[in-house]
Amino acid sequence: MNSKIGRRAALFGAAGLLAGCDTIDGWFGTTKTPLPGLRQSVLSADGAIKADPALSGTAIALPPPTVLQAWPMPGGNPSHAIGHVALGPNLSEAWSASIGEGSAYRSRITSGPIIANGLVITSDASNVISAYDLARGDRRWRFDTSPDDEDGGSIGGGCAVEGDTVYVVSGQAEVLALNIADGKPRWRQRIPATGRGAPAIAGGKLIFATIDNQVIAVSATDGKKLWSYQGQRVPTVPLGLPTPAIVEDMAVAGLPSGELVLLRVSDGRVVWTESVAGAGRAGSLTDISGIHALPVVADGRVFAIGMGGTSIAVDLRSGRRLWEREMGGTVTPAVAGDWIFAVTDGALITAVGRDDGRFRWVTALNDGLTEKEREERRGTRYAAPVLAGGRLIVAGDKSEALIIDPATGGLLQRMKLPGPVSLPAAVTADRLVMLTDEGRLVCWRGA
């Protein structure tokens, strides 16, 4: 078999499961006339998500905002607990630029922008890495990571930065290191299976998940494989794979099988394993149970939200489950102080107590809309919430962002976006950067 065709067939054959059942048509270019009647996500456990009346008098106190100088990896930092970041209240568009190929019938962007060394770095759906000046939006360099025997069209990978190096896991089964100044490659290596997300960086290693349910560590010096962990094999995987969370010598990885595993960075030794698979409702698609959202580690606890309708909190050191809730989703929650702000697969946003998993408030993201507007927004894919400047910002692929009051869950504003956004944003100092699904990079200035 031609190697190019074989790799492409394997890539799309494994892409049977995306980031949610009701989004498959939109991602593969087909549309169907909706049938009349009540619609409820087959993955949703949102009937169990209700505000706890006993918490109605409990105030949500946010930690002071932190001014960030970089957002060098998905989640903003190694633990993915970025907290409450500084951003001015008034947003105005500073610049925008095309990064290349956007999500389409046979290609998809799987990672949002990152920011480091005064640059915004992106990976498009054809695995082209580009760097843009954060202040002005000028493109500094562009590098096509596609191997010579590939045409570039596929599902993208992701990037992370440490020092003066951009590390890339491509959607074409390679890992690369690029010079951040000019984009020139320092090394590149083939990997055993395709990766669909950015690597974590720790202890001189790059650690990332692959579509065959492995966690692989390679040397940051030359890309050679150092160790691997094989999870339970599954027939379907999400289009994007979460970057592991790092704390000290510990890497917490979420896998397509729904496994949550703590591995030693130094040698790959398994410390504990947990799972969000099969613990949700009966009578649903329990095989759709992978982890698409980044695991978050904060104050000795690991928080993970699964696609199959279960979220858990686990003690970092022992792996002991602290609480479990029937709450499913595909995007990373924002964790700040005593609260977790999560967007569910049923289009709810909620404030969850970090210590006990109780719901302080629950808000439907289609609140305040007419029936026609609700129908137009049916099946919206939302990006990960960002807690910035005292408000929650939740972008969506219907070309708008919702601004939510974190204290009450009240909707403050619907902000028009220049295109659909289902990828996570990045925030530094007075800049908010989003990447539309169509491949448009947009930077707002906060004042």
Q: Give the total number of structural domains in the chain.
A: 1
Which pLDDT value is given to residue 235?
A: 75
Closest CA to 262 of 200, 319, 335: 319
Q: Give the β-pairing of 139-144 and 128-133.
A: antiparallel
Range of the domain at 410: 3-446
Give residue-wise pLDDT tens across range 300-355. 999 999 998 999 999 999 999 999 999 999 999 999 999 999 999 999 999 999 99
Query: pTM score, two decimals?
Result: 0.88
User: What is the mean pLDDT for each group of 10 consecutive residues in the chain (447 residues)?
Assistant: 39 39 35 39 61 96 97 98 97 97 87 98 95 98 86 76 98 95 98 91 96 95 98 79 97 95 98 81 52 97 95 98 96 98 96 98 92 90 98 97 98 96 96 98 97
Q: How far apart are CA 148 and CA 247, in angstroms?
A: 37
pLDDT digits (tens, 9 = 90+) for 27-55: 333 333 443 433 344 444 456 899 999 99
CATH number at residue 187: 2.130.10.10
3-state secondary structure the chain: CCHHHHHHHHHHHCCCCCCCHHHHHHHCCCCCCCCCCCCCCCCCCHHHCCCCHHHCCCCCCCCCCECCCCECCCCCCCCCCCCCECCCCCEEEEEEEECCCCCECCEECCCCCEEECCEEEEECCCCEEEEEECCCCCEEEEEECCCCCCCCCCECCEEEEECCEEEEECCCCEEEEEECCCCCEEEEEECCCCCCCCCEEECCEEEEECCCCEEEEEECCCCCEEEEEECCCCCCCCCCCCCCEEECCEEEEECCCCEEEEEECCCCCEEEEEECCCCCCCCCCCCCCCCCCCCEEECCEEEEECCCCCEEEEECCCCCEEEEECCCCCCCCEEECCEEEEECCCCEEEEEECCCCCEEEEEECCCCCCHHHHHHCCCCCECCCEEECCEEEEEECCCEEEEECCCCCCEEEEEECCCCCCCCCEEECCEEEEECCCCEEEEEEEC
Let me know if 139 is exposed, middle or buried by CB neighbors in 10 A (0-12, 13-18, 19+): middle
* Residue 122 one-letter amino acid: T
